[in-house]
Structure 1
Amino acid sequence: MSGNLWQPQPSGAAASLAGRRRFLADMGLGFTGLALGAMLHRDGIARDSTWSPPDGKPHFPPQVKSVIWLFLNGGLSHMESFDPKPMLTKYAGKTIDETPFAAVQDPKKLALERLVVPDANGNQRNKLYPLQAGFKKHGESGIEISDWFPHIARNADRLAVVRSLWTTDSNHGAQTQFHSGRHRNDGEFPNLGAWVHYGLGSLNENLPQFISLGKREYWNKQDGHYLGPAHDATPLRIDPQNPLDFGRPERTFSPEAHGIGVDLLGQLNALRGVEYPDDPALAARVASYELAFRMQKSVPEVVDFTQETAECQKLYGLDQPHSKAFGMQLLAARRFVERGVRFVQIQHGGGGAGAWDAHSRLKANHSGNALAVDQPIGGLLEDLDRRGLLDETLVVLASEFGRTPGTQGADGRDHHIFGFSVCLAGGGLKRGVVHGATDEIGFHAAEDRHYVTDIHATILQQLGLDSRRLEIPGRKRLDIDHGEVIREIIA
């Protein structure tokens, strides 16, 4: 694949932006923050006189243009999805100490003094809970995938499954940790989408380069943090009539009135340009307003599916009530990336702890949630591939952590940070491969262990970015923040 996937960005001096942008900024037209990031780095705004932000060009030839980041909030059980463990069924009801796998609870290995905690009923959380879903091998690759995900399983030969992730936040702040790489107790840090937005230029001047779809809880609601709100995602809804906040004028104007207004603004802008000839920050803000104005037309068009065939809509599950909502988000994601949007971040089950948080009734919880996401995800992979977009789009399917091999209460699993799975597809990765492994009961990432930022490093690598070259003065990152590229899954 050709590495020349970026497009050079305009680089005019900030002073050239004086004029109508100045006036629009002072008037404050209500689009603040919607798309400021793309304009900040397009206009080359620096933080000090000795340092300049990225120029929008990749550091080395990229393999992909875009990322679709699918996140299942609450903690998907790796053992009932992409990492089957028949030993759980064989030893069901026994404590881990009563099985050949007692060593997994070694406090030195866990860096914890005690893992086993009695619940309110006196049960021990380390009593193994049998698998709640069947598994089959799929495709030529023979990857084993849960029966709850038949549409994803149909795409087994398109997947790169990493079964050896680990993290450190044992509560749902791990959602933030998976996105940013850092525990919430460490402070607030930019997430992966913000770094991509910060590092690369625009592919479409009429659309934001970083989009967020789906509900986000307060601890995972921001993206840019110390990079600034300029690099937060633009939140959108799948509603052609009202896809973004402040996206429509409060009242309508006739074409004649609009023309008069434009002429007046032009005259006033000329005066403003004389008064403020060199104000790049103000210029960037106004540029964001102008992008927001262009988005009033471009975004509704993207989320209007009337141009899509009935077959395509059915592929994403739009004909089924259980999968329609998520399917619409994924169909919109495909339409966004084919128009040049760089990073689309989609949350499923956001709100509270997250819809996948199955401390009880795991079977009902996961099977119901799978109905909502399985067909849309399978349809997305197939649709991208048949359109020739999968090779230039990297799709990620992740959750903040896995779930315990042992039972919680009678029929659930607790949070589990020591080993879980992530699926990736496209984007110059190998197809139909499994990398890494947990132990026989799914407790620890045992082979080729990867902290969550290894996923980040792999994505940045495919986008042509070196995270160390994105560091800014006074914000040197920990080595683990950068992660290590999982080269074994790269084609």
Structure 2
Amino acid sequence: MPRSKHNSFCGRVKRRTFLADMGFGATGLALGSLMAKENAASAATTKSDQPDIGPHFAPRAKNVIWVFLSGGYSQMETFDPKPMLNKYAGKTFDQTPYPNPFEDPLYQERARSVVKVKREHATILPMQVGFKKRGELGIGVTDWWPHLSTCVDDISFVRSMYTTDNDHAAEFQMHHGRHKLDPKQPVVGSWINYGLGSLNENLPEFVCLGNFKDSRIKEDFDANYLGPKYGGVILNLDPKNPLPYGRRDLSMLEREQQNQFAFVNELNQLTATEYPDDEQARARIKSYELAFRMQSAVPETLNLAEETAETQALYGIDNETTSVYGRRLLAARRLAERGVRFSLVYLSDYGEWDSHLKLQELHGRSCERVDKPVAGLLKDLKRRGMWEDTVVVFCTEFGRTPGVEVRDGYKAPDGRDHHPHGFTVWFAGAGIKQGHIHGATDDLGFHVVDSPHYVTDIHATLMHLMGLDPQRLDIPGRQRLLSDHGKPIMDILS
């Protein structure tokens, strides 16, 4: 029987297959996001589709630390205290001098649910914690943030955010900008990765820090149609295994691996001569090289033991309550310091802030966990001279209702439901005004009444600071609606 030209002869392996298997075996990496760096190409992306790498105009920031609290923290019990909740506690909205918020047309417009659930909680729940006016401008912050309260003069609070998903898919909407019922988009970290390229050839541009059990959280760092090479790379803070699948096999010496790569490179030089336009091969070669470098760069970067005891204490690493959260934020600072463009710090467990019940107990505990580490990050950035390069965004998926949760199973009068109509996020660092409040919700914390901002305005603000025009990042055949680009929140920019 004649041998097919597509089959290997006498069991031999094709050279291309050998290169691919050897490269991935040597590095031990199964990460598609390592398939290319600044000028790498892939089979799925032609030259005409490649972004114009680099900023479109002068940037104000070099990197982003995105701190995310899953589940939806209450705007009233954090950074937008509402004393009128105490005055009208136990009354319905109709029993107050204010308009009934459920009759506002915005209520239906900004309460789009995948599963239809009535969420009209009409009985007002008082604030579950006290608050004080802090800093030079007297910015109201609740008593659950004693450490972060000392930093309010460095922060711009945006008290006028809204979203459109009343379910927990709002978490993913915060990152990619689309409702669960709409086509998905790449997340903001992927767009920044796509548009700017690398500042450090030994580390990925987009990193995710934090543990999670729910596989849906991968949507928070999913590059979608940009391709996996622009997605976030998960890094662990386990010093024995900081890069999943990224360690050299213990049976192989470092010198052996170096020799393998040298041999592969020699073969690749022959391939480059024979097939000068094979972009897929060049992209794969670059991914092998990056993976090899990361084997030493990642463990060094995440070796928090190199930090002084004073720095570790600043982040609360010396305390059991705050240690896990402080370690994540200190790692984010070290990554930013070494040129990582975008670090998503998943600071709490999935849904941790979703306090339908026992809000006082649960929010109080969660605030205690993250308060000192977040304040430590801001103080550390300032003292290390990183304030002018790094922008920090602190956010959640939505707020919580001014009314008490009363649905079946939640009838204890001590929790709040999901609330997409108005909530607070904040920014600090490069290009951001210090000690500033932008926008407002009404006196009961229900609707935005001044300077409303949809979640993609956060994305547009970060891209603007990084020198990117979102409309110039569109992919042919993948045009986004103009509204999905968002608009920079210019009032918070310095």
Q: Tell me the TM-score normalized by structure 1.
A: 0.89
2:281 matched to 1:282? Answer: yes
- Report the equivalent of 1:329: 328
2:82 aligned to which of 65, 82, 85:
85
Amino acid at match of 1:207: L
- Report the equivalent of 2:57: 60
- TM-aligned CA deviation for residue 369 of structure 1: 0.5
2:465 aligned to which of 459, 462, 465:
462
- CA-atom RMSD, angstroms? 2.5
- Report the equivalent of 1:4: none
Q: How many Å separate the matches in 1 of 2:378 and 2:36?
A: 28
Q: How many Å separate the matches in 1 of 2:210 and 2:439?
A: 30
Distance 1:52 1:96, change over 3 A: same
Q: How many Å separate the matches in 2 of 1:256 and 1:308?
A: 30
- TM-aligned CA deviation for residue 57 of structure 1: 1.0
8 Å Cα contact 1:46-1:52 kept in structure 2: no
2:474 aligned to which of 471, 484, 487:
471
- TM-aligned CA deviation for residue 311 of structure 1: 0.7
8 Å Cα contact 2:36-2:286 kept in structure 1: no
- TM-aligned CA deviation for residue 94 of structure 1: 0.7
Q: How many Å separate the matches in 2 of 1:308 and 1:277?
A: 46
8 Å Cα contact 2:78-2:144 kept in structure 1: yes
Q: How many Å separate the matches in 2 of 1:54 and 1:266?
A: 27
- TM-aligned CA deviation for residue 315 of structure 1: 0.2
Q: How many Å separate the matches in 2 of 1:231 and 1:457?
A: 18
2:96 matched to 1:99? Answer: yes
- TM-aligned CA deviation for residue 192 of structure 1: 0.5
Deviation by residue 1:72-99 (Cα, 9 ceiling, x = unmatched) = 0000000000001001111111111111
- Report the equivalent of 2:349: 350
Distance 1:490 1:210, change over 3 A: same
- Report the equivalent of 1:5: none
- Report the equivalent of 1:36: 34
Deviates more, 1:52-61 or 1:456-465: 52-61
1:131 aligned to which of 119, 127, 131:
127
- Superposed counterparts of 1:74-223, under 5 Å: 74-111=71-108, 125-216=121-212, 217-222=214-219, 223=222
Query: Matched residue of 2:251: which SS?
Result: coil
8 Å Cα contact 2:35-2:286 kept in structure 1: no
Distance 1:150 1:21, change over 3 A: farther
Q: How many Å separate the matches in 2 of 1:461 and 1:114?
A: 29
- Report the equivalent of 1:450: 453
Amino acid at match of 1:482: H
Percent of aligned pairs sharing the same letter: 48
Distance 1:247 1:416, change over 3 A: same
Deviates more, 1:193-202 or 1:276-285: 276-285
- Report the equivalent of 1:425: 428
- Report the equivalent of 1:13: none
Amino acid at match of 1:25: A
- TM-aligned CA deviation for residue 56 of structure 1: 1.9
2:292 matched to 1:293? Answer: yes
8 Å Cα contact 1:46-1:53 kept in structure 2: no
Q: How many Å separate the matches in 1 of 2:97 and 2:124?
A: 12
8 Å Cα contact 1:435-1:488 kept in structure 2: yes
Distance 1:146 1:113, change over 3 A: closer
8 Å Cα contact 2:49-2:475 kept in structure 1: no
Q: How many Å separate the matches in 2 of 1:261 and 1:377?
A: 44
Query: Matched residue of 2:388: which SS?
Result: helix
8 Å Cα contact 2:111-2:421 kept in structure 1: no
Deviation by residue 1:8-45 (Cα, 9 ceiling, x = unmatched) = xxxxxxxxxxxx99964343323232542652x42255
- TM-aligned CA deviation for residue 221 of structure 1: 0.8
Q: How many Å separate the matches in 1 of 2:51 and 2:140?
A: 42
Q: How many Å separate the matches in 2 of 1:63 and 1:229?
A: 28
- TM-aligned CA deviation for residue 46 of structure 1: 8.2
8 Å Cα contact 2:129-2:142 kept in structure 1: yes
- TM-aligned CA deviation for residue 108 of structure 1: 2.5
Distance 1:23 1:286, change over 3 A: farther
Query: Matched residue of 1:211: which SS?
Result: strand
Deviates more, 1:72-81 or 1:222-231: 222-231
Deviation by residue 1:451-491 (Cα, 9 ceiling, x = unmatched) = 11111111110000000000010111112211111111111
2:363 matched to 1:366? Answer: yes
Amino acid at match of 1:424: F
2:233 matched to 1:237? Answer: no
Deviates more, 1:140-149 or 1:411-420: 140-149
Query: Matched residue of 2:478: which SS?
Result: coil
Q: How many Å separate the matches in 1 of 2:381 and 2:372?
A: 14
2:414 matched to 1:404? Answer: no
Distance 1:128 1:264, change over 3 A: same
Q: How many Å separate the matches in 2 of 1:114 and 1:455?
A: 20
- Report the equivalent of 1:73: 70
- TM-aligned CA deviation for residue 262 of structure 1: 4.8
2:20 matched to 1:25? Answer: yes
Runs (5+) with no aligned partner, structure 2: 1-14, 406-410
Distance 1:421 1:447, change over 3 A: same
Distance 1:360 1:35, change over 3 A: same
